[in-house]
């Protein structure tokens, strides 16, 4: 299959996924635990008023959390995701956040050194050339700027996720949660087709750290979290 066709197909999945994506925030407790942790990791070292890029922001859930403290730019290539992010931005007391349509597979429309921090949550695995995307993050960050990334270390089967929900919530509550997340699971199954085709990228910690080092970043803090403890969250600093 030609590569441009694969990209078009994945983009269509994300466009449709937008309609149900926020069920994660509403019904999946681990998602909000992850969001809390990401917010805290940036709040520690990053001063108020800093410029932050939420790269591949989806429906803007992290942007909404960061906007009261920082000057946030929310970027995504899926228009349906950005529509929902824009709706959330409008509900905030100023400053809200800026919306930009752009593709992480292309040079980013920002000046060199434009940001104090870049967050990229559950998106690096889906870009075509992660090294090139990381190089762009390095370019648009100020020297010493922060990079916050969450990326799966391995594919997670839907059955494995379901078992974890039941283990954490018990049978009755867990079944209710899974019913709410059926549509989310359906779109995740669609994405799994690209995993099996080798389009998605998952790295164990050591391999991911080598990728970061080659791109000019030094990890400051790392932890495993989220679904089945398979999500590597990394706070890194841009080398001079």
Query: What DSSP string runs through 214-236?
Result: HHTEEEEEEEEESGGG-EEEEEE
Closest CA to 54 of 32, 36, 38, 31: 38
Confidence check: pLDDT of 48 > 90: yes
Rounded to the nearest angstrom, the gap between the alpha carbon of residue 122 and the centroid of all alpha carbons in its chain is 3
Mean pLDDT computed over 183-205: 69
Characterise 126 by phi-psi region: left (phi > 0), alpha (psi -120 to 50), beta (else).
alpha
Mean pLDDT over 2-20 rounds to 63
pLDDT of the residue at 118: 98
Average per-residue pLDDT in the chain?
88
Which residue in the block uniquely carries the two structure tokens 């069920």?
23
Average of per-residue pLDDT across 114-123: 97
pLDDT at 139: 98
144: left (phi over 0), alpha (psi -120 to 50) or beta: left
* Contact partners, residue 127, CB within 8 Å, separation at least 6: 104, 105, 133, 201
Question: Nearest-5° angle of CA 165, CA 169, CA 175?
Answer: 65
pLDDT tens profile 81-91: 999 999 999 99
Q: Is the pLDDT of residue 222 over 50?
A: yes
What does the alpha-carbon distance between residue 152 and residue 173 come to, in Å, rounded to a whole number?
26
Given this model, what pLDDT does residue 61 score? 97
- Average pLDDT, integer, range 172-190: 74
Q: What is the mean pLDDT of residues 97-104?
A: 96
CA pair distance 38, 65, nearest whole angstrom:
10
Which domains, ranges and CATH numbers included, belong to the chain? 3-154+201-238 (3.40.50.150)
Q: Which segment of 6-10, 11-15, 222-226, 227-231 scores lowest on mean pLDDT? A: 6-10
Query: Which one, of 158, 163, 194, lies nearest residue 1 by Cα?
Result: 194
| Alpha helix ranges (H) inside 67-200 | 79-90, 130-140, 158-169, 171-180, 182-196
Contacts 24+ apart (CB under 8 A), 95-102: 95/67, 95/71, 96/67, 97/54, 97/60, 97/63, 97/64, 97/66, 97/67, 97/72, 97/73, 98/72, 98/73, 98/74, 99/74, 100/73, 100/74, 100/75, 101/75, 101/76, 101/77, 102/75, 102/76, 102/77
pLDDT of 193 reads 63
Confidence tier at 166 by pLDDT (50, 70, 90) = confident
Q: Is pTM beyond 0.85 here?
A: yes
């Amino acid at each position: 299959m030609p590569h441009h066709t694969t990209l078009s197909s994945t983009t269509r999945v994300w466009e449709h996924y937008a309609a149900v994506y926020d069920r994660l925030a509403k019904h999946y407790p681990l998602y909000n635990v992850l969001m809390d942790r990401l917010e805290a990791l940036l709040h520690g070292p990053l001063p108020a008023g800093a410029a932050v890029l939420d790269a591949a922001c989806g429906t803007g859930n992290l942007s909404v959390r960061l906007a009261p403290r920082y000057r946030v730019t929310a970027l995504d290539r899926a228009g349906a995701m950005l529509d929902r992010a824009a709706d959330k931005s409008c509900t905030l007391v100023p400053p809200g956040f800026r919306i930009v349509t752009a593709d992480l597979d292309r040079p980013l429309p920002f000046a060199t050194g434009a940001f104090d921090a870049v967050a990229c949550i559950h998106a690096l695995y889906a870009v075509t050339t992660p090294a090139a995307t990381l190089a762009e993050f390095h370019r648009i960050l100020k020297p010493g700027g922060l990079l916050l990334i969450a990326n799966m270390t391995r594919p997670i089967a839907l059955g494995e996720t379901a078992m974890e929900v039941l283990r954490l919530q018990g049978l009755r509550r867990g079944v209710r949660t899974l019913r709410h997340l059926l549509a989310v699971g359906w779109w995740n199954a669609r994405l799994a087709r690209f995993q099996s085709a080798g389009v998605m990228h998952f790295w164990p910690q050591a391999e991911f750290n080598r990728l970061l080092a080659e791109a000019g970043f030094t990890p400051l803090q790392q932890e495993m979290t989220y679904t089945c403890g398979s999500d590597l969250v990394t706070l890194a600093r841009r080398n001079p």
